[in-house]
Amino acid sequence: MSFKAGFVALIGRPNVGKSTLLNNILGTKLSIVSPRPQTTRMRILGVKHLPDAQIIFLDTPGVQKGGDLLTKSVMESAVASMESADVIVMIIEADKGWTKEDKEIVENYLKKYNKPTILAINKIDKIQRDLVLPLIEESTKIYDFKEYVPISAIKNINVDELIETIKKYLPESPPLYPEDMITDLPLKLWIAEIIREKVFFNTKQEIPYSVAVEVESIKEGEKNKNLLIIDAIIYVEKDNHKGIIIGKKGQMLKKIGTQAREELEFLLGKKVHLNLFVKVKERWKEDLPLLRALGYNQIS
Ligand code: GDP
Ligand code: MG
C-alpha cells in the first residue's frame, strides 16, 4: 500500500473544540484549550504519524471580527492554513446546530477555497443520538461536504473514524516531516501558550483578551542540566489588570506560576524555575515589534 501525506486545516468558530480535537489526536498538549473562546491566536502545526500516512494539522484560530493588528494577523494565519491545506475539516457543535457564524464560514471560506471538506459534528456526547441524522441532513443542504463525521473530541468518540476519513482525501506522498516531530512551534512560544492558559483559567471574566505572554529566556541550570530557568513577562493593557493578575499578596501570580511550572515540568520532563513578571503595556495589540516577538509573525 502506498503512503499518504498532506495538510489538514481545522476550521470552525471559537469554542467548537478544535484544540481539544487536535490534542486528542496528537496525544500531546500542543494547542491551548480553554472554556472561553478565541484563545488560539496563532497557527499551530501538529503532525500525526501513522503507519501508512502522515497528517499535518493546521489549527486555525476561530474566525473573528475586529480591526486591530492582532485580529488581522489571526485572520491571515487562518487564511494561510486554508490555502496550504489538502483537506479542510470544518467543525460545528452538535448541541448548537448550524449558527449564523458557522454559515458565514461556509460562505466566506469554504466556497472560496473549494477544497475537499469534511464536516465534523463535535460534542455529540451532549445530544440525543436520534438528533444526529437530521443535523447531517440539514448540513447537506448548506454545503457539498465530502463526508459527515459525528464525533466527541472530549470523550474520544469516532475520532479514529475521522482520521480514517481524512486519510482518504490525502495525496499519495512520502512523509513530509521527520518521525520525531510533533510540532514546529518554537519552544518559547509553546511555553508562553501554557503560561497564558493558566492566566485564563485563573482570572475568569475579569481579564479580557488583553493578556500576552512573552518568554524572554530559557536557560539550563549551570550545575544541574536537568533544570530549566525560564523568564517570562505577562503583558496586560491596564494597571488594574496588573493588580488582578498579581492578586492579594501576590497570591494569584503565585498560583499561575505554580500551575504553569508543574505542567511544564511534566511536559518537558525537567525541573523548572519559572520567573514571572507582569508589565503594563497599553495597546500592545497595536505594537508591531512586540507582536513579532510574541510570534505573530504572519503580519507583513
Ligand atoms: P476551540 O476554540 O475550537 O479550539 O475549542 P476548545 O478545544 O478550546 O474547546 C472549547 C470548549 O469545548 C472546552 O471547554 C472543551 O472542553 C469543550 N469541548 C471540546 N470538545 C468537546 C466535546 O466533544 N464534548 C463536550 N461536551 N465538550 C467539548
Ligand atoms: Mg482553540
Q: What pLDDT, on a 0 to 100 scale, did the predictor assign at position 232?
A: 96
Q: Which of 4-8, 133-137, 267-271, 293-297 has the highest mean pLDDT?
A: 133-137
pTM of full prediction above 0.85: no
Whether ligand 1 lies within 6 angstroms of the CB of 295 is answered as no
- Best residue among 154, 158, 201 to mutate for probing ligand 1's pocket (most ligand atoms within 8 Å of CB) is 154
Percent of the chain beyond pLDDT 90? 43
CA neighbours closer than 13 Å in the CB half-sphere of residue 263 = 19
Phi and psi at residue 170, in whole multiples of 5°?
A: -85, 145
The three grid cell numbers given for residue 188, joined into one nine-digit string: 518559547
Q: What is the mean pLDDT of residues 131-150?
A: 98
Q: What pLDDT, on a 0 to 100 scale, did the predictor assign at position 8?
A: 92
Choose between 56 and 168: higher pLDDT. Answer: 168
**Which atom number of ligand 1 is nearest to the Cα of residue 122?**
23
Q: What pLDDT, on a 0 to 100 scale, did the predictor assign at position 167?
A: 97
Q: What pLDDT, on a 0 to 100 scale, did the predictor assign at position 68?
A: 65
Q: Give dist(CA 34, CA 23) in Å, integer.
A: 12
Phi and psi at residue 87, in whole multiples of 5°?
A: -135, 140
The pLDDT mean for the chain works out to: 82
pLDDT, tens only, 84-100: 789 999 999 999 999 99
Q: What pLDDT, on a 0 to 100 scale, did the predictor assign at position 253?
A: 96
Which residues lie across from 263 on neighbouring strands? none
Q: Which of 4-13, 91-100, 183-192, 216-225 has the highest mean pLDDT?
A: 91-100
Dihedral sign, Cα of residue 10, residue 16, residue 22, residue 28: positive
Q: What pLDDT, on a 0 to 100 scale, did the predictor assign at position 20?
A: 85
- Please state, as a whole number, how many other Cβ atoms lie within 10 Å of the Cβ of residue 196: 22
- Shortest-distance ligand to the CA of residue 40: 2
Q: Give dist(CA 275, CA 261) in Å, integer.
A: 10
**Which atom number of ligand 1 is nearest to the Cα of residue 38?**
2
Q: What is the mean pLDDT of residues 200-219?
A: 79
Query: Around ion ligand 2, which residues have CB less than 5 A away?
Result: 18-19, 40
- Cα(78) to centroid of ligand 2, in Å? 12
